[in-house]
Amino acid sequence: MPAPTAAPARTGPPAAPAPASGIRFDDVTVAYGRHGGHGEHTVLDSFDLTVEPGEVMALLGPSGSGKTTALRAVAGFVRPVRGRVLIGGRDVTDLPPYKRGIGMVVQQYALFPHMKVAENVAFGLKAQKAPRTEIPGRVAEALEMTGMAGYADRYPRELSGGQQQRVAIARALAIRPGVLLLDEPLSALDARLRSGMLAELARLHRELPDVSILYVTHDQVEALTLADRIAVLDQARLRDCGTPQQLYRSPRTAFTASFVGTANLLPVTVRRDGVEFAGRPLTVPVGEAAPGATATLCVRPHLIGLGASPAPGGNTLRGTVTELQWRGATHRLYVAAGGHRIMADVRELREPPALGTDIALHFAPEDAVLIPAGLAADGARHA
Amino acid sequence: MLVHSASARRALRAAFFLLFLPVFALPLLVIAAASFAGGWSGALPSHLTLTHYQDLARGSTVTALLTSVLTALAASAAALTAGTWAALAAQGLGRRARRLLDALFLLPVAVPSVVVGLSLLVAFSRPPFLLNGTPQIVIIAHTVLVTAFAYQSVTAALSRLDPAYEQSAAGLGARPAYVLWRVRMPLLLPSLTAAAGLCFALSMGELSATMMLYPPDWMPLPVQIFAATDRGALFTGAALAVALMATTLLVLAGVARIRTRAGYR
């Protein structure tokens, strides 16, 4: 199946943006209530972010973090009280949604129930007055791309959730948008369908490398799997931004560490050659942190091993098993050490320790990341 | 189901029929029976006859029925247009302005319809607004009286309509007018047809405002029913009432068919 972006001539509607449009948020603030008055509620605060052309950017955060608001500001459904939104270098802040040339898929798909699948997919093309002769071909192409070619004559109510999802994506892609906005597109699907659709979305993006995708999710697995970069939001602000690997391996804030993957966050005091945790020295890279400063040490549970450190220079912690969870391939141990609860994910144990047993845990110095206290709140980087 | 035991359910059903059937169905059955009666001195009508219906076919009844249907159709169409328009416009208003509009549309329902008739009579009795003695003033009165129901029914439907539909449509490049015509109106169709049926039925039965306003050449059927019973021709009045009921039910059945087709969701 040829990728439509490889088509030599684009005879699309006039509103269709040029290929390879990026998105830029320039100090965007969105607030409800009377501006500057009492009761003003800021839902997105001084948001700066650039999505490069063809990039998949995930906006990750808990509910109420402002991620959906950011997406709606790009779509034109909310109006910033300050700042600008640019699509493909064009300032669209004051443009109505229908002039922005975006494709959007929302959580509940919002397929038009009175139209058949083919009519749903053709809707954007007809609305933008695409040449009549071109419409059937482009509808077929979009349905083909999403694997829904055999369902053109069905009504949305005759489709399963996963199929409706595909039609919603086909409808958004049919207008050949430069920017695709996905608002929690998989949250209404069950776990199995979700992982299948994740693979589908990744394939679609390979076929349409010019489309920039802004992907809103609260699910870290979706963000880690699909995104080129992840922007982490919390309490209306951008907290961190980077590639999934950067955020996972060296989180800059405690919030990022806990939201992207699972993390043990230990309060430590910086020393010259490492840190001190609950009165015990640990060897970890301290970077430029000043000795005597307080900081947070992030150690991923799967990087913690059972027993004393086998290698010289490794860190060993001793504690009591308080909880044990069997998770199929792994065991999760909760160990009380130095007044804190430490999680360790180890390969399934043949003889797991009994609760209350004293055990040793170890981790390598390079597997720990020191998060200076000053960066606990704002750590926006690579944005 | 609130009641579980079968005997209790049977008892409740019996109570329902005993209490409600006489109030709702019996008067209508009496009217239907009276329309075939040659006399009614005992418990049941006697000398059953079709004379009253034959008289209807000969007299001015057909014209009156047509007048009623035309008035109701025109008033429902006008009320539906105005009510839908206002309901759509109200969505863009602030909370206070919307409340004011709600109150304005509720006014003709709160005010007795005879007052609505009188006020129209006074308002349109002098040039340049001289509509006295024209069919239009009857249609306007009916429109004023039924628009509230159209407005309320469309407002309720709009509040249930998921904004994701119109936002998705706008995101796909559809202008507001296109979204309204291709997405919102089709989704509102079931409510619009329900409102149309209600407006039509109310207009078909309207009497008090009509009595104040109707010109001799535009006499709707309820006025004829009133006139017949007023001069003591009860059985003729009953036959007229049956004709009115049958026509209204026929039109409502037609509207319900459209609604079934529109109810694809």
Report how far Cα A190 is from the mean position of its chain's Cα atoms: 18
- Domains in chain A, start-ordered, CATH in brackets? 4-249 (3.40.50.300), 255-375 (2.40.50.140)
Find the closest chain A residue to B262 by CA distance: A114
Radius of gyration for the alpha carbons in chain B, expressed in angstroms and rounded: 23
E-strand ranges in B33-138 read 125-126, 129-130
Subunit contact B171:A102, Cβ cutoff 8 A: yes
Distance CA B171, CA A168 (A): 12
Please report the pLDDT score of residue A243 as a whole number: 95
Please report the pLDDT score of residue A5 as a whole number: 38
Find chain B residues with C-beta within 8 A of A170's C-beta: none
Structure tokens at A331: 């065991």
User: How much is the average pLDDT of A250-269?
Assistant: 91
In tens, the pLDDT along B195-216 reads 999 999 999 989 888 988 888 8
At a CB cut-off of 8 Å and minimum separation 6, what does A53 contact?
Answer: A20, A21, A22, A88, A178, A210, A212
Confidence of residue B124 (pLDDT cuts 50, 70, 90): confident
Please report the pLDDT score of residue A10 as a whole number: 35
User: How much is the average pLDDT of A1-27?
Assistant: 54
Contact B191, B157 (CB under 8 A): yes
pLDDT surpasses 60 at A363:
yes
Which residue in this structure is represented by tokens 């390969």? A347
Shortest alpha-carbon distance between residue B184 and chain A (Å) = 10
Distance CA A208, CA A214 (A): 14
Residue B103, judged by CB atoms within 10 A of its CB (0-12, 13-18, 19+), counts as exposed
User: How much is the average pLDDT of A293-301?
Assistant: 93
pLDDT surpasses 70 at A374:
no
Q: Is A117 on the interface with B (CB under 8 A)?
A: no
- Whether ipTM exceeds 0.95: no
Q: Is A251 on the interface with B (CB under 8 A)?
A: no
- Domains in chain B, start-ordered, CATH in brackets? 60-262 (1.10.3720.10)
Residue predicted with more confidence, B245 or B3: B245
Please report the pLDDT score of residue A294 as a whole number: 92
For chain B, the average pLDDT equals: 87
pLDDT surpasses 70 at B251:
yes
Q: Is A155 on the interface with B (CB under 8 A)?
A: yes
Distance CA A334, CA B153 (A): 59
Half-sphere exposure of B236 (CA within 13 A, CB side): 19
User: How much is the average pLDDT of A3-20?
Assistant: 40
DSSP element (H, E) containing A192: helix A191-207
Q: Which of B162, B172, B175 sits opposite A171 (nearest CB)?
A: B172
Distance CA A268, CA A371 (A): 10
In tens, the pLDDT along A58-115 reads 999 998 899 999 999 999 999 999 999 999 989 999 999 999 988 889 888 899 999 9
Shortest alpha-carbon distance between residue B264 and chain A (Å) = 7
